[in-house]
Amino acid sequence: MPSLGLALVLLVSLVSPTSSCTEQEKSSLLQLLAGLSQDGGLTTSWQHDTDCCTWEGITCNQDRKVTDVSLASRGLEGPISLFLGNLTGLLRLNLSRNLLSGGLPLELVSSSSILVLDISFNRLTGGLSELPSSTPARPLQVMKSLVILNASSNRFTGQIPTTQCVSAPSFVVLELSFNQLSGNIPPGLSNCSVLKLIGVGYNNLNGTLPNELFNVTTLEHLSLPNNRLEGALDGISKLTNLVTLDLGGNELSGNIPESIGDLKRLEKLHLEHNNMSGELPAALGNCTKSIYSCSKLTALRLSYNPFHGQLSEKIGNLKSLLFLSLANNSLTNITRTLQMLSSSRSLTTLYIGCNFLHETMPEDVSIDGFQNLQVLSINHCSLCGKIPDWLSKLPNLGMLFLQGNQLTGPIPEWISSLNFLFSLDISNNSLTGEIPRFLMEMPMLE
């Protein structure tokens, strides 16, 4: 038995790891640390006389090579060190949500190992598009293993990069929102044959959606809001795997094509604040995950478009709807619209102003519901009639906007019963009588 115990001790000591990360990789990490003006307390963990595989934020593989550098939300300030490019086994680099500045080092852009690069929410500048002309021999080596690039919420300029579409056959996610990128959407994105997400919203892009983009049929999320994109949506139906389509806040024109009904997987559609016109196509009903089938949909914004006609009866299917904005369109039949929407018992915010021009404000007592409504805006519709009594049945109303109509009669006394009302705008109407004293006594209006 004693000899067996000794054998076990010898065996354990023989297989226990004695190696650590290489001096080159340790030095490369320390170079990052040395260049930072604020290191987020990493100095305590990152000691030269210890194994860098044990350092905070560092992960190594069985060969003691650094595979992960995870330093998100550490308050790091300063540049990204070019020496990180010496980590030849690096798979994932996450430096998001810090205060890093300067550009993205060429040594990282030329990495042959990185799969995931997340540098979002920093203060990085410069371009992302191509390698400098001084390295013409290496254009196809750029990020050849890259799967995910998230450089959103920085200050990058220039055009959308497309080099990775040639060099990285498994490239899946391109997220560049909230930067200062400009130019057209490059046709070269069509070379990203397995791309699933393109997010380049809140930049300065212009031009049309290139036809080549519609060949990336693997796309599931296309998000390009708040740019200056123009033209029509012809060809969008080819992206049959789309789950999210967000093109709001651009300068798109034309109709929503009837072929949008081919997008059977569509769950989110944002087209607000464009120059589109025509009716909402009936083919939207073919999208089994689109608008009127989303029983758990909580917010829908289709404002600032020239949609016209009556609202579909199917709006009543949205039982979980909390926020709805249909303002600044050309909708008709305000009475029926309010009757349908009152069945959405969860609704807290409703914007339907700048519609229903020259119709009559409904006084129909059958408009019951709206028990949870807190914000109601029916402004600038040139509605005639009176301030309707059914508003007195909205116990939680906090904001009421009826300005810019042609309402007549006195300010009704029942307004004083709206105990949560803190914002009331009934200007630019044809109301008569005195401003009632009870308005001065309502506690929230004070």
Tell me what pLDDT residue 16 has: 38
pLDDT for 432 beyond 70: yes
Residue 275 pLDDT class (50, 70, 90 cuts): very high
The answer to whether the beta carbons of residues 352 and 327 sit under 8 Å apart is yes
With the CA atoms of 302, 212, 169 and 175 taken in that order, what torsion angle do they form, in degrees rounded to the nearest 10?
-30
Share of the chain above pLDDT 70, in %: 90
Residue 439 pLDDT class (50, 70, 90 cuts): confident
State pLDDT tens for residues 360-398: 999 876 777 888 999 999 999 999 999 999 999 898 999
Task: Say how far apart CA 381 and CA 354 lie, in whole Å.
Answer: 5
pLDDT for 220 beyond 70: yes
Tell me the residue ranges of DSSP E strands in 176-302.
Answer: 182-183, 197-199, 204-208, 221-223, 228-231, 244-246, 251-254, 268-270, 275-276, 299-301
pLDDT for 108 beyond 90: no
Task: Say how many C-beta atoms besides its own lie within 10 A of residue 296's C-beta.
Answer: 8
The answer to whether the beta carbons of residues 311 and 331 sit under 8 Å apart is yes
Share of the chain above pLDDT 90, in %: 61
More confident residue, 6 or 180: 180
Q: 237: buried, middle or exposed (CB in 10 Å: 19+, 13-18, 0-12)?
A: middle
Residue 223 pLDDT class (50, 70, 90 cuts): very high
The answer to whether the beta carbons of residues 250 and 274 sit under 8 Å apart is yes
Residue 26 pLDDT class (50, 70, 90 cuts): very high
DSSP state letters, 39-94: -TTGGGT--TTS-GGGSTTEEE-TTS-EEEEE-TTS--EEEPPGGGGG-TT--EEE
State pLDDT tens for residues 404-420: 999 999 999 999 999 89
Per-chain mean pLDDT for the chain: 87
State pLDDT tens for residues 40-77: 999 999 999 999 999 999 999 999 999 999 999 999 99
Region 87-102: mean pLDDT is: 95
Tell me what pLDDT residue 272 has: 87
Residue 7 pLDDT class (50, 70, 90 cuts): very low
Region 429-438: mean pLDDT is: 92
Task: Say how far apart CA 201 and CA 222 lie, in whole Å.
Answer: 10
Task: Say how far apart CA 220 and CA 239 lie, in whole Å.
Answer: 8
Task: Say how far apart CA 3 and CA 87 lie, in whole Å.
Answer: 45
Tell me what pLDDT residue 289 has: 59
Paired sense of beta strands 148-150 and 116-118, if any: parallel
Residue 297 pLDDT class (50, 70, 90 cuts): confident
Amino acid code (one letter) for 290: S
Task: Say how far apart CA 146 and CA 158 lie, in whole Å.
Answer: 21
**H/E element, 223:** strand 221-223
Pick the closest to residue 412 from 420, 428, 393 (CA basis): 393
Task: Say how far apart CA 90 and CA 107 lie, in whole Å.
Answer: 12
3-state secondary structure (DSSP) of residue 430: strand
* Token pair belonging to 286: 């073919």
Tell me what pLDDT residue 267 has: 80
The domain limits of the chain are 294-446
What fold is seen in the domain 294-446? 3.80.10
Q: What is the pTM of this model?
A: 0.67
Alpha-carbon 41 to chain mean position:
32
252 strand-pairing partners: 231
* Token pair belonging to 19: 């190696």
Highest mean pLDDT: which of 11-15, 79-83, 317-321?
79-83
Amino acid code (one letter) for 135: T
Region 330-339: mean pLDDT is: 92
Task: Say how far apart CA 116 and CA 92 lie, in whole Å.
Answer: 5
